[in-house]
Amino acid sequence: MIDVPNGRGGPQQIPRPPHVSPGGPPPWNHLPEQRRHVDLDLLVERLGRYEPAYTDRGLPGTGKTSAVLVPLYIDNGEPTVLLTRRSPALRSHTHEVSFPGGRHDETDTDHIDTALREAEEEVNLQRSSVEIVGALDWFITGGSGSLVHPYVGLLDGPPADLVAHPGEVEAILPVTLRELLLDEVWREEVWVRDGQRARVTFFELHGDTVWGATGNMLRQLLTLATDPV
């Protein structure tokens, strides 16, 4: 039985295997909650120095590539990240929480262009308002076998005139990094499938559960932000 704090978590369907056990504390557990305020300037500096690696989870690649945008900005003094909930009209991963993004198109100049184009198509985030400040580790998705390139974009303020594309996005979800760092939001599970153990990260928001690839990206981003070194 998985315990979720009262009032948190959403309707997302989690395909847990039969063997699941609790995982460990968050990487930022060394900080008391009252000190878990992200310095966005410091995070941007660290992202600029970070060299993305390829995270091999033993999944077979298909040769397909895609890119996502991790949009960050300050809203009322709080570093905030922009997430989306996927539309029920999509063929897969319906209602799941993700970053704007999609498959690399032949007309895209590079994967940054892919991430910016998809963000504009999905939520009307204008590329002129986004400064790419770094990248997170690449990884292969379990469903499509696509190699994903995550890019972190800094906005000059809360984005205006966002519109959810009805065929792709059910809701636009701004979330402060402070909330994501709360103990009651974090959960890790250890899944055992086909004899292989995997640690799965969850963020339990009010009305939504973030997990899977998006949870892993948030974990890496927040670890960079709170690393004492």
Q: CATH number of the domain that 62 lies in? A: 3.90.79.10
Is residue 83 a part of any domain in this protein?
yes
Is residue 152 a part of any domain in this protein?
yes
In this prediction the pTM is 0.92
pLDDT at 57 over 70: no
Strand partners, 182: none
pLDDT band at 3; cut points 50, 70, 90? low
Full domain range(s) for residue 220 = 39-180+209-226
Is residue 87 a part of any domain in this protein?
yes
Is residue 45 a part of any domain in this protein?
yes
Which residues make Cβ contacts (< 8 Å) with residue 106, sequence separation at least 6? none
Of residues 193 and 75, which shows the higher confidence score?
A: 75
User: Residue 7: its pLDDT value, please?
Assistant: 74
pLDDT band at 192; cut points 50, 70, 90? very high
Is residue 85 a part of any domain in this protein?
yes
Is residue 8 a part of any domain in this protein?
no
CA 162 to each of CA 31, 121, 123, 172, 174: distance values in angstroms, whole numbers, following the listed order: 34, 10, 5, 8, 11
Do residues 83 and 214 lie in contact, with contact meaning Cβ atoms separated by under 8 Å?
A: yes
Do residues 136 and 214 lie in contact, with contact meaning Cβ atoms separated by under 8 Å?
A: no
Is residue 31 a part of any domain in this protein?
no
CA 121-119-183 angle, to 5 degrees, is: 140
Count of domains in the chain? 1
Is residue 219 a part of any domain in this protein?
yes
